[in-house]
Amino acid sequence: MNTTVIALGLTINYINAAMIHTFHKHDILKRNPRYILFIHLVLNDLLLLTTSITLFIFIFTLNTVYVPICLVFLLPTTLTSLNSPLNLAFMAAECYISVCVPLRYENICTVKRTYIVIGIIWALSSLTILPDLFILLATEPPQFFNSRVFCEKDKVFGSSLSIKKRDATNILFLVVVWITLFYTYFRILFVAKAAASNAKKARNTILIHGFQLLLCMMIYVQPLLIQVFTYLFPGAPIFYVAFIIFQILPRFLSPIIYGLRDKTFRKYFIRTVVCTITIKIHPNKRMMLE
């Protein structure tokens, strides 16, 4: 299981790193809000995979780790998990503006405002997870931080207050993001039908985006689903299967849905990858390629 998870994680992170390199190499991509949001999602996924796979290895090899070490990896994993659905919601809003109000797109979706949106995403996620940390520091004795624990969110942040707060926050995020998804994409679908152009492609895109967002948002109900399936299928590797479905699969789909399916980004991505491979194989061709 560890080998499979590490292999998948390294493969996806390699693709994500190549896309980040492509983005930073071309100014035309850095000036487009759509690609800025996309590359933020990719960077967020890269960090999420790195920390979550480390936690996965800790759980299945060491079983327990010291609380401070657990928090170093658990906090960014939780934070980036919350970032993904929010980022997708803003990407849906950007897509809605570009299709439904194209004349105001350049005034609404600027590079500066896009980075402000990214700051809002991190702020909202931080405000969600930081209270759990403060509750932990206030309720647990000092000896707890010198002990070893099973490094899982519900085991570390096990206070009833933290659980109730987390459930309420997850429900709020779930409702807001899904309302955003349904409103924006159904509006896009109606506009595509009214224009009688690319209606089928728009419909397929909506279905793919919705499925990918659904997988990302399953993180909100992951603890409950793990408990249910553990009860229904005792002895089955539920945690391993849940990790693959809820953590790795959405990160695998993101580069395909938002990167390779986009003609502009795909063109620059292929060009960058081909040039990089050529330079590595034939270093003396570097000047000619440049």
Name, of 21-35, 190-204, 233-247, the range with top average pLDDT: 21-35
Q: What's CA 143's distance to the chain center, in Å?
A: 34
Is residue 286 a part of any domain in this protein? no
- What is the residue range of 241's domain? 1-281
Q: Tell me: the pLDDT tens digits for 129-144? A: 888 888 888 888 888 8
Is residue 288 a part of any domain in this protein? no
Lowest mean pLDDT among 57-61, 127-131, 197-201: 197-201
Q: Tell me: the pLDDT tens digits for 152-189? A: 887 888 788 888 888 788 778 878 888 888 888 778 77
Is residue 66 a part of any domain in this protein? yes
pTM of the entire predicted model:
0.85
Provide the b/e sequence for 1-21 (b: ≥16 CB within 10 Å). Answer: eeeebeebbeebbebbebbee
Residue type, 275: C
Residue type, 39: I
Give residue 253's pLDDT band: very low, low, confident or very high (50, 70, 90).
Answer: confident
Alpha carbon dihedral 185, 188, 194, 195, in 10-degree steps, equals: -140
The radius of gyration computed from the CA coordinates of the chain, to the nearest angstrom, equals: 21
Share of the chain above pLDDT 90, in %: 11
Q: Tell me: the pLDDT tens digits for 273-283? A: 777 666 555 55
CA angle 55–89–266, rounded 5-degree value: 80
**What is the count of structural domains for the chain?**
1
Is residue 289 a part of any domain in this protein? no
Mean pLDDT of the chain: 81
Q: What CATH number corresponds to the domain at position 54?
A: 1.20.1070.10
User: Whose structure tokens read 């790193």?
Assistant: 17
Alpha carbon dihedral 64, 67, 73, 76, in 10-degree steps, equals: 140
What is the arithmetic mean of pLDDT over 47-62?
86
Residues 6+ apart with CB under 8 A from 56: 2, 5, 243
- The two structure tokens encoding residue 180: 């955003």
| Cβ atoms of residues 63 and 150 within 8 Å | yes
